[in-house]
Amino acid sequence: MDATRIFRHQDYELICSAKSVDSGRFAPMLTVSKQVWPTRPREIAVQRGEYMTEETAIDAAHAQGIEWITNYG
């Protein structure tokens, strides 16, 4: 089962997911949407890594989202 958590940071919404991949590991996925116009969602690449749990993959996506907002938001 894939897990998803939504976070809010500044004027952005971070949709952080963990998708199950081979060998019982999880890959993080991140979508960032601005909460004010323009609200175009952006898929942000997250380093795949070797995440053993959904929670650690979601944490990695969340950290990448905060870094993206700091650098590009």
Q: Tokens at residue 6, please?
A: 């939504």
pLDDT of amino acid 23 = 81
**How many structural domains are present in the chain?**
1
pLDDT of residue 22: 80
| Amino acid (one-letter) located at 45 | A
Range of the domain at 55: 3-72
pLDDT band at 68 (very low <50, low <70, confident <90, very high): very high
pLDDT digits (tens, 9 = 90+) for 10-53: 999 999 999 988 888 999 999 999 998 888 899 998 888 789 99
pTM, to two decimals? 0.88
Residue 55's CATH number: 3.10.450
Q: Which single residue is written with the structure tokens 């949407």? A: 33
- Sequence-distant (6+) residues with CB within 8 A of 13 are 6, 7, 32, 33, 34, 35
The pLDDT, as a whole number, for residue 28 is: 94
- Per DSSP, the three-state class of 27 is strand
